[in-house]
Amino acid sequence: MCDQTFMAATFGPCDSCGKASPLMNIYIKSEAINYCSFCVEMMACQQLQKGETLQSLKKESDSLKKKLEEERGKLNDVELHQVAEKVEVLSSLSIKTRRVLKGHGNKVLCVDWCKDKRRLVSSSQDGKAIVWDAFTLNKVSEISLSVFYFDSNAQNGLDNKCSVVPLSLDKNENLAAKKKSVAMHTNYVSGCTFTNSDMQLLTSSGDGTCALWDVESGQLLQSFHGHTADVLSLDLAPSETGNTFVSGGCDMKANVWDMRSGQNIQSFESHESDINCVRYYPSGDAFASASDDATCRFYDLRADREVAVYQKDSVIFGASSVDFSLSGRLLFAGYNDYTINVWDVLKGTRVSILFGHENRVSRVRVSPDGTALCSASWDNTLRIWA
Amino acid sequence: MTINTMAKGGWQREQTICFRKMEKMIVAMQDPDMGMKLRNQRLLITVIPHAMTGHDIIIWLIHKYSVCEEEALHLGGMLVKYGYIYPLKEPRSLVLQPDESPYRFQTPYFWTSTRWPASELDYAIYLAKKNIRKQGELMEYEKERYSLLHKKINHTWDFVVMQAREQLRASKQRRKADRIVLECQEQAYWLINRPPPGVHNMLDVGLERQNNFNLRATLVSIEVHRRALGRNRVKSSICLEGFLKYSEQYQNHDPIMQGCLPSNPWISDDTAHWTMNTEMVPVPTRLRVERWSFSFMELLNDAMGRQEFMLYLEKEFSAENLYFWQACEEIRHGESSKIVEKVEEVYKNFLAPGAARWVNIDSKTMDKTLEGIKQPHRFVLDDAQMHIYFLMKKVCFCKLREKDHTNISANSLQHLIMFVFPFMRRQRHSSPSPAQAVAQATEEEGRHKGAG
């Protein structure tokens, strides 16, 4: 399918898709717009009505957003830090590095705890996934894959696929042979999580969608459309009915989805840059997000709004990952300036800052029983803090 | 002759934001009133103007951002790593020393945000200049790169050498101090854009984030906002109280905040805590049992809690509810291939008239479910399952908790333990661990108090 040739007077970002390409300068109702040829075709065939331009749609979207903020504001009778004034101030925590796991040959990108509270699985850009007994620092097994990101036992690959590898305690088993390819996206897979069993897998991708897969058959069960840029992270809700999840992406939005219907039930847009990570509060009534705008934010699902922003003047690098402590009182956030900041969720203040890593912190995870925090970093190591 | 195209989409966004913030910080540091005191620094025999010491930088950061020294050192260190401040002594190492070492602000011309991407041609000219200036001044890795470039852009090599010579000639006309400053500035710039081996690349941002659909974004936003306007919301004061209550309730269970008994294994290297809390133990710890009373989900999520609840239900002749719930969970989360047969089983055991474990569902839900079973799928039993879940929660679980709601949690917990979990009574005499010894002691106390 080749472009018609046309006289290109300018070259630059298309008003519609943003890609740098030769632009057609056209006029709609004497409003000049610059679209690449593909977008001109799209507009002609599909979505824009006559007289609609990008500018007019943007105006409509902005005014709706304003109305929405007003609606949300009506029930906003008090702020979180005000309510939290009666809560005791936290005494200073002495959290230190208790273990350093060395063994990866390149950036460690992802880590997750096993249910036994002491084993971890980590993946690295060196193409290996290692299962560690973090307590004894032993490597239980090493799996070679084109691994990039993963959760529990599933690994996301640079080849846009997500594979499930069964892990067993038998050292001699050739685990890579049992690897099963489950998910397939049209762009990189950024995050994945098992739903409450090992039978279904939720994935998020650079192609802007999330998807639910059946592990056994590899079949796509449900897909979730609504993000308008790469989706970077997702988390499953710990609620009683266990049917929703939240995702965050480069469109600065955090969306809550119903797993069964595929519908986007709630959306939050208050970050000023890409959202790198989303994580539910332990009760399931709220979630936190970490973003390149150097803030972490706390969103209340029942009040349907952002209720806290965790930021500090001296924190200027993007946050890559967040996780809550067991009680939900502390929020651990890993940043691109190699540090981990510990925030008091209720009061909005920073409790502590953890130094130690020598390059970006790519992921932080609290252990299932809340006894320790694990951080993975681009300095090729993992650290256990307690 | 290069077309000035827009930089690659998403991945540069992250860096741009950081750079802007760092630049703001740098500008504030140079503010004539609130900024740092700059003075002349002596470097060997030359006097370099407008310099500051590492110590000054740290003190300024401590005051401006109200941070501790360690954090100020780290933050200042990042400014140096990104080349906004460069060292005059030991200029090859972009590290902030908290002493009298002299530093200077990088000129905006050389800011990474201004001149990115650094081209091969520019790098070749820089290395050529260094090479010409003092033979053998190039480091090993620079020599290697120089010869590689020589091969790669050989066709422009005359231009490279000519430029290098011109720039050197022009710089000879400057004062020595200026010359040193210029050399340091340029060197700092290249240390970042072409890091030496072993030093990590500050400009590495990881995975490229490409996609962004402007038109689609706007259309989607409109739809989402419209739907959101019709949503039901809860008042903030109610929601926020919920978080306070939750955190307070779980505070004692949060090892990072309150520690755990007998000790945190990661700190003390003693795994007793894990041994005491494995999935199935003869006697669960007091904290664990307390947690079961927090919410129905906590009880069901803990294998032992679920077991004890089952025993209780069997006493009350309503165990079929929990069996039904478990069977539904297995269907919801189990293998797709087994759904049909599992649904059959569930129908036979729980829903069919005269079934062995018939569950009491309201007629509307029952009708809907029976209709749905004709075309079994993963979620066909959802409504029935939810009905039974809330039934168990309201009738059995909450009633247990309310039994002693007039007293504070300690006593009602004892009540809960003794009425619902009689096994705790049985274990009165043995106390294998301190955590349980505590539980036994207070239990005895509680009962005495209750009786007296």
- Does residue B325 have a pLDDT over 50? yes
Chain A residues with CB under 8 Å of B233 CB are 71-72, 75, 302-305
CA distance A69 to A174: 55
Strands A200-205 and A210-214: antiparallel
Looking at chain B, the whole-number percentage of residues with pLDDT higher than 70 is 83
Nearest to A116 by CA among A165, A167, A162: A167
Instruction: Please tell me which of A197-201, B115-119, B154-158, B403-407 the model is most confident about, judged by mean pLDDT.
Output: B154-158
CA distance A200 to A214: 5
pLDDT band at B329 (very low <50, low <70, confident <90, very high): confident
What pLDDT does B449 receive? 41
Q: What is the token pair recorded at A254?
A: 């955090």
Angle at B381 between CA B316 and CA A245, to 5 degrees: 105
pLDDT band at B444 (very low <50, low <70, confident <90, very high): very low
Nearest to A288 by CA among A252, A244, A246: A246
Q: Do B237 and A83 touch (CB under 8 A)?
A: yes
Chain B residues with CB under 8 Å of A57 CB are 215, 218-219, 222
Q: Do B337 and A71 touch (CB under 8 A)?
A: no
Q: What is the token pair recorded at B410?
A: 């300690």
Determine the average pLDDT of the residues in B420-444: 41
What pLDDT does B411 receive? 44
Q: What is the DSSP secondary structure assignment for residue A325, as one 8-state letter?
A: -
pLDDT band at A76 (very low <50, low <70, confident <90, very high): confident
Buried/exposed code over B425-438 (b: 16+ C-beta within 10 A; e: otherwise): eeeeeeeebebbee
A288: contact with B, CB 8 A cutoff = no
Binding-face residues of A in 197-256 toward B, CB within 8 A: 197, 199-200, 206-208, 214, 216-217, 219, 226, 228-230, 232, 240-241, 250-251
Looking at chain A, the whole-number percentage of residues with pLDDT higher than 70 is 82
Q: Do B65 and A313 touch (CB under 8 A)?
A: yes
Chain A residues with CB under 8 Å of B17 CB are 273, 292-294, 318
Lateral strand order in the sheet of A264-268? A231-236, A244-249, A254-258, A264-268
- Does residue A3 have a pLDDT over 70? no
Q: Do B266 and A307 touch (CB under 8 A)?
A: no
What pLDDT does B296 receive? 86
Question: Can you say whether residue B329 is alpha, beta or left, with left for phi > 0 and alpha for psi between -120 and 50 degrees?
Answer: alpha
Other C-beta atoms closer than 10 Å to the C-beta of B95 total: 12
Distance from CA of B355 to the nearest CA of A (A): 26
CA distance A109 to A123: 6
Distance between alpha carbon A86 and the CA centroid of its chain, in Å? 33
Chain A residues with CB under 8 Å of B243 CB are 80, 281, 283, 285-286, 300, 328, 345-346
Binding-face residues of B in 268-307 toward A, CB within 8 A: 271, 273-274, 277, 296-297
What pLDDT does B48 receive? 83
Q: Do A326 and B255 touch (CB under 8 A)?
A: yes
Nearest to A11 among B3, B240, B246 (CB): B3
Lateral strand order in the sheet of A319-324? A319-324, A330-335, A340-344, A350-354
Q: Do A18 and B9 touch (CB under 8 A)?
A: yes
Chain A residues with CB under 8 Å of B303 CB are none
- Where is B224: in which H helix or E strand? helix B214-229
Q: Do A267 and B264 touch (CB under 8 A)?
A: no
Q: Average the pLDDT over each of A154-168, A235-249, B89-103 and give the range with the smallest value.
A: A154-168
Beta partners for B51?
Answer: B39
Determine the average pLDDT of the residues in B173-181: 87
The interaxial angle of helices B319-333 and B382-391, nearest 10 deg, is 140
What pLDDT does B443 receive? 45
What pLDDT does B91 receive? 81
CA distance B244 to A328: 10
pLDDT band at B16 (very low <50, low <70, confident <90, very high): confident
Buried/exposed code over A183-199 (b: 16+ C-beta within 10 A; e: otherwise): bbbebbbbbbbbbeebb
- Does residue B54 have a pLDDT over 90? yes
- Does residue A356 have a pLDDT over 90? yes
What pLDDT does A13 receive? 81
Contact status, residue A149 vs residue A127, Cβ threshold 8 Å: no
What pLDDT does A173 receive? 47
Specify the higher pLDDT residue, B436 or B107: B107
What pLDDT does B267 receive? 94
Contact status, residue A31 vs residue A55, Cβ threshold 8 Å: yes
Q: What is each CA distance from A337 to A164, A354, A379, in whole angstroms?
A: 32, 11, 12
Determine the average pLDDT of the residues in A202-207: 87
What pLDDT does A48 receive? 59
Determine the average pLDDT of the residues in B48-73: 93
Instruction: Please tell me which of A66-75, A338-347, B97-106, B418-427 the model is most confident about, judged by mean pLDDT.
Output: A338-347
CA distance A291 to A250: 9
Residue A1 contacts by C-beta under 8 Å, 6 or more apart in sequence?
A: none
Instruction: Return the number of CB contacts < 8 Å for A and B.
Output: 293
Determine the average pLDDT of the residues in A153-169: 57
Q: Residue A109, SS3?
A: strand
What pLDDT does B409 receive? 40
Q: What is the token pair recorded at B156?
A: 């422009």
pLDDT band at A29 (very low <50, low <70, confident <90, very high): low
Chain B residues with CB under 8 Å of A274 CB are 10, 13-14, 209
Q: What is the DSSP secondary structure assignment for residue B75, as one 8-state letter?
A: H
Q: DSSP labels for B171-199?
A: HHTS-HHHHHHHHHHHHHHHHHHSPPTTS
Q: Is the omega angle on the peptide bond into residue B49 within 30 degrees of 0, that is, cis?
A: no
pLDDT band at B206 (very low <50, low <70, confident <90, very high): confident
Nearest to A386 among B21, B251, B264 (CB): B264
Specify the higher pLDDT residue, A66 or A25: A66
pLDDT band at A309 (very low <50, low <70, confident <90, very high): very high
Identify the burial level of B366 via C-beta atoms within 10 angstroms of its C-beta, where 0-12 means exposed, 13-18 middle and 19 or more buried. middle
pLDDT for A258-282, tens place per residue?
988 888 889 999 999 999 999 999 9
Q: What is the token pair recorded at B346?
A: 């569930």
Q: What is the token pair recorded at A320?
A: 């890559």
pLDDT for B392-426, tens place per residue?
888 877 776 665 443 334 444 455 555 454 444 44
Residue B259 contacts by C-beta under 8 Å, 6 or more apart in sequence?
A: none
What pLDDT does B412 receive? 42
**Average pLDDT value over all residues in chain A:** 84
Q: Do B14 and A318 touch (CB under 8 A)?
A: yes
pLDDT band at A58 (very low <50, low <70, confident <90, very high): confident
Most A-contacting residue of B82, B233, B291, B394 (CB-CB within 10 A), to test interface: B233
Q: Which pTM value belongs to this model?
A: 0.84
Q: Do A327 and B253 touch (CB under 8 A)?
A: yes
At residue B432, φ and ψ (nearest 5 deg) are -70, -20
Q: Average the pLDDT over each of A31-35, A347-351, B440-444 and give the range with the smallest value.
A: B440-444
Binding-face residues of A in 9-38 toward B, CB within 8 A: 11-20
CA distance A237 to B176: 65
Chain B residues with CB under 8 Å of A327 CB are 246-247, 249-251, 253-254, 257
Q: Average the pLDDT over each of A270-284, A322-336, B350-364 and give the range with the smallest value.
A: B350-364
- Does residue B123 have a pLDDT over 90? yes
Q: What is the token pair recorded at A262?
A: 């595929």
Gyration radius of chain A over CA positions? 23
Q: What is the token pair recorded at A263?
A: 């519908």
Determine the average pLDDT of the residues in A119-142: 90
Distance from CA of B154 to the nearest CA of A (A): 31
Where do we find the tokens 């990101």? Answer: A149
pLDDT band at A168 (very low <50, low <70, confident <90, very high): low
Contact status, residue B234 vs residue A302, Cβ threshold 8 Å: yes
What pLDDT does A261 receive? 87
Q: Do B17 and A292 touch (CB under 8 A)?
A: yes
A52: contact with B, CB 8 A cutoff = no
CA distance A331 to A339: 14
Q: What is the DSSP secondary structure assignment for residue B356, as one 8-state letter?
A: T
What pLDDT does A189 receive? 78
